[in-house]
Amino acid sequence: MTVTLRRFLFAVFLAAIAAGGARAEDTGPFAGDCKGQSEIAHFEQGSLVHVARRVAQKETITVIAFGSSSTLGVGASSALATYPARLEAELKQHFPGIPVRVVNRGVSGEDVAEMLKRFDHDIIQAKPDLVIWQLGTNAILRDDGIAPEQPLIMEGLRRFKKADTDLVLMNPQFAPKVLRDPDAIPMVELIAKIAKDSNIPLFHRFELMRHWRDDLEMPYEQFLSKDLLHMNDFSYGCTARYLAAAIADDVKTTRKVVDGLHASVPSRTLLPAAGD
């Protein structure tokens, strides 16, 4: 299936939802009991200075959800149950009175190399304040090994830096069809190392879902769709809840640091204008 056809089919999916009168802002925050570990709602490194500036100025926040099938929303009951749609609703709760727009740029089946081919169209042209880059799963499933992925991910980070946008990485899902591949854990570790070394926030989706299975002994069917690979409404909703909480926590911390430094050095510009 070509990228154009995938996008067309998802556009038809979204149009069908819109025709029924449902809108993302009507969904509200996810109502399920996510039972996640509190540390998942915090980033270990990096700071979202662009989003913090938007919040401080009460300006529209534009987020791009960039990834493959679990960004697109395969396994969700509707377009409004995907993690990008839920994330928009959650962020509006964290930042009341500030317009938030989360754009879904997921394409099923893609690896990092394929995502980079649409970087200019999906990222550069959109000029987002924040990108959530979900990556790693399809490289695992294709049995290509993790070695070819590292230079591709680093090239992606170089492009994001040039694009002057905040970035959060999201690692693979915890699912049987992922775990049966010996590259699964090394891929998760590689993404974590790259994020740490590059001082980029990382959302630990793998650890969130592993906690459900290993610590809480949830059956896979509670947080995965029938194929035991893709997520379902529960895991999409919980991903959005904890991701939004981590973003809001980062913005709060960033603004405190900025406000404190502004007070001591009034003339210093700590949150540069876009394009600086």
Per-residue pLDDT reduced to its tens digit, 166-211: 999 999 999 999 999 999 999 999 999 999 999 999 999 999 999 9
Do 135 and 188 touch, CB atoms closer than 8 A?
Answer: no
Lowest-confidence region among 4-18, 148-162, 256-270: 4-18
What total of structural domains would you count in the chain? 1
User: Phi and psi at residue 113, in whole multiples of 5°?
Assistant: -60, -40
How confident is the model at residue 201, as a pLDDT?
98
The dihedral over CA atoms of 56, 133, 23, 48, expressed in degrees to the nearest 10, equals: -10
CA distance 167 to 87: 15
Tell me the CATH number at 183: 3.40.50.1110
The tens digit of pLDDT for each residue in 136-173 reads 999 999 977 899 999 999 999 999 999 999 999 999 99
Backbone angles phi, psi at 132, to 5 degrees: -100, 110
SS3 24: helix
pTM, rounded to two decimals: 0.85
Q: How confident is the model at residue 20 (pLDDT cuts 50, 70, 90)?
A: very low
75 in a domain, yes or no?
A: yes
Two structure tokens written together for 128: 């987002």
Determine the pLDDT at residue 5. 53
Q: How much is the pLDDT for 14?
A: 45
Whether 180 maps to a domain, the answer reads: yes
Residues contacting residue 89 through CB under 8 Å, at least 6 positions apart: 24, 25, 27, 28, 29, 30, 240
Largest CA distance in the chain: 57
Q: What is the mean pLDDT of the chain?
A: 88
The domain in which residue 169 lies consists of 3-26+58-263
